[in-house]
Amino acid sequence: MAQGVLPRLLALPGVYRPQADTHLLARALAREDLRPTTRVLDIGTGSGAIALRAASRGAKVTAVDTSWRAVATTRLNALHRRLPLRVLHGDFTARTTGQRFDLVLANPPYVPSPSSRLPVSGPELAWDAGRNGRVVIDRICANVPVLLHHGGLLLMVHSAMCNPDHTLKQLTEAGLIAHITQRERVPWGPVLRSRRAWLQKQGLAAFGEEREELVIIRAQAL
């Protein structure tokens, strides 16, 4: 299977299935050099699509998710594909204390939500990210410097709705070299369509807007 092309995977009910953002991150990953010594952390692994892609290229991969269903799904997919994968349940900061990685991958929740609180269960765990869509992104930016080895990389995908320029600023101020490497416009999914009026009221979407810009941010630790 070509690099950047994701296989069909099992997914328990309520687990985020690979969509446009997952495929965009897979294509970004395909451009990076992975070796048997490369230690990879996949934050918010979901079905395990990106973690399994890295593991299939020989990297040593740790996948983390706050959803037990996502953890079970990823373990099933790893078993089915006979790929070694360390899958952990919980918050990525708590489960990686004292560890460093060569590559951190993240497809975090980034959809703005009328609620400022993150969900504690349900499929919304995969997308709801507070009123500005940045609750999880900001935590990744704050913690990634201590997760990366010198020269290590962060690849993160999120929506233009949640201000990628601010992400670049945060990562730069934290001592990383950060820039946007890919952009792609995709049709709105059902979650955004259901929040159309609220997004327009917040100034996060223009009237009649039907497509969302996704970006990949690549940041390297010095």
Range of the domain at 180: 20-221
- Domain holding 107: CATH number? 3.40.50.150
Between these two residues, 208 and 171, which has the higher pLDDT value?
A: 171
Residue 44 tokens read as 């918010």
Q: What is the pLDDT of residue 107?
A: 95
Predicted confidence band of residue 1 (pLDDT cuts 50, 70, 90): very low
**Does residue 2 sit within a domain?**
no
Q: Taking residues 78-85, what's their average pLDDT?
A: 94
Q: What is the pLDDT of residue 5?
A: 56
* Alpha carbon separation from 110 to 39, 56, 65, 146, 149 (Å, rounded): 25, 27, 15, 22, 26
Q: What is the pLDDT of residue 6?
A: 64
**Does residue 15 sit within a domain?**
no
For the chain, give percent helix, strand, coil, nearest 5: 35, 25, 40
Q: Are 92 and 43 in contact (CB under 8 A)?
A: yes
Q: Where are the alpha helices (DSSP H) in 57-189?
A: 68-81, 92-95, 135-147, 164-173
Structural domain count of the chain: 1
Residue 14 tokens read as 């309520």
**Does residue 183 sit within a domain?**
yes
Q: Taking residues 111-125, what's their average pLDDT?
A: 85
Indicate the angle between helix axes 135-147 and 164-173, nearest 10 degrees: 30
Q: Taking residues 9-19, what's their average pLDDT?
A: 87
* Alpha-carbon gap, residue 14 to 124, rounded angstroms: 8
Element (H, E) at 211: strand 211-221
Predicted confidence band of residue 115 (pLDDT cuts 50, 70, 90): confident
